[in-house]
Amino acid sequence: MITRTLIRQKVVQILYAYLLRENTNVEAAEKELTFSLGKAYDLYLYLLLLMVEVKHFAEDRMALRRLRLKPTEEDLNPNLRFVNNRFICQLEQNNELAERKKELKRSWKDADDVVKKLFESIERSNLYCDYMNAPAEPTYEDDRTLWRRIYKQFIMDNDALDSLFEDQSLYWNDDKTVVDTFVLKTIKQFDPSMGAEQPLLPQYHDKEDPEFAQALLRRALTQADAYRQLIDEQSRNWTGERIAFMDTVIMVTALAEITSFPSIPLNVTLNEYVEIAKYYSTPSSASFINGILDAAAKKLKAKG
């Protein structure tokens, strides 16, 4: 699940904090990187569990309505289509998710108000009403599509969730945009024939990725001064004070990758860090960083 794109973003974030504090403790930085990447995977699991918790809330509410002093016919015989949705039932029964849940230190039971508001928003939507009142019995694909659309419409851009994540982890708000894509990919990959054995996305996309993460951070942190000098040489009319600090950090990380991983095509590395600049730095940073890195790479090539 954790791709090299996310790893690069994490390295930039941690390098920024360490260089800002002039802290060059490599071991501490590597531990923080490992912890941060682990938190991203926790968020992935936590968001999968959120969908299951919404189902549980709907079931609990129906059970309470049956206990009313004067229950209505609808209370006694509710429409079960949402709680019997085959995709969400399969996710609820997933063995791997159940095991991973034991390792998480947080539960949605501690945020029941957020779950309540989320379900109520879903329930008021045309998406929910159309699904519940459709004349034909939904297929598994219908059930899975419903949850993909619910996720996109109600979970991806949700201020209450963003606020909750900000309180729970320093890393999660930055991670959520990327992790959302992994959750949607997981929903799409679910196969009804797999039942409870459906695999979730692994923590790392590639088995070499943890080594890539540690090596990239180590190189960037230990060689930062040399890379800064190289950046200054290519900046010409720019002084070190005028270059945004985040731009410098992004370029230092990019140069660490260029010099440490020659098997990665240069254009891939440049494109990755230009995209990071678009997200983390100023509007003009992307083209500036691209130009400086291109010039620096040519100088490194000329030196062999």
**Which position has the token pair 């209450």?**
160
Under a CB-based contact definition with an 8 Å cutoff, are residues 1 and 48 in contact? no
Read off the pLDDT band of 237 (50, 70, 90).
low
Contacts of 228 (CB under 8 A, 6+ apart): 240, 248, 252
CB distance 41 to 1 below 8 Å: yes
Cβ-contact 176, 44 below 8 angstroms: no
Residue 241: is its pLDDT beyond 60? no
CATH superfamily placement of domain 223-302: NusB-like (1.10.940.10)
Res. 7: pLDDT tops 80: yes
- pLDDT digits over 103-115, tens only? 998 889 889 999 9
Q: How many CA atoms lie within 13 A of 109 on its CB side?
A: 6
Q: What average pLDDT does the segment 183-196 reach?
A: 98
To 10 degrees, what angle do helices 95-103 and 26-66 make? 120
Distance CA 172, CA 195 (A): 30
- The domain segmentation of the chain, as residue ranges, is 25-197, 223-302
Tokens matching residue 38: 């682990």
Q: Is the pLDDT of residue 50 over 90?
A: yes
DSSP 82: T
| 265 alpha carbon, distance to own chain's centre | 25
Which residue reads 């039932």 in tokens? 89
Is-above-0.85 flag for pTM? yes
**What radius of gyration do the chain's Cα atoms show?**
24
At 271-285, the pLDDT tens digits run 999 999 998 988 788
30: tokens are: 């590597």
Pick 304 or 188 by higher pLDDT.
188
The maximal CA–CA distance of the chain, rounded, in angstroms, is 85
Report the pLDDT averaged over residues 105-127. 94
Long-range contacts formed by 104-111: CB under 8 A, 24+ apart:
104/42, 104/45, 104/46, 104/49, 106/46, 106/168, 108/46, 108/49, 108/50, 108/53, 109/53, 111/164
- Strand, coil or helix: what is 204? strand
Residue 123's pLDDT is what? 97
Please give the pLDDT value at position 243: 83
pLDDT tens-digit map of 134-152: 999 999 999 999 999 999 9
pLDDT mean over 33-40: 95
Strand boundaries in the chain, DSSP class E: none
Whether residue 255 is predicted with pLDDT greater than 90 in this model: the reply is yes
- The pLDDT-based confidence of 179 (bands split at 50, 70, 90) is very high
- pLDDT category at 303 given cuts 50, 70, 90 is confident
CB distance 253 to 220 below 8 Å: yes
The CA distance from 132 to 21, in Å, is: 55
Residues with Cβ within 8 Å of 166's Cβ and at least 6 positions away in sequence, in order, are 172, 173
Average pLDDT, the chain: 94
| pLDDT at residue 233 tops 60 | yes
- What pLDDT, on a 0 to 100 scale, did the predictor assign at position 169? 87
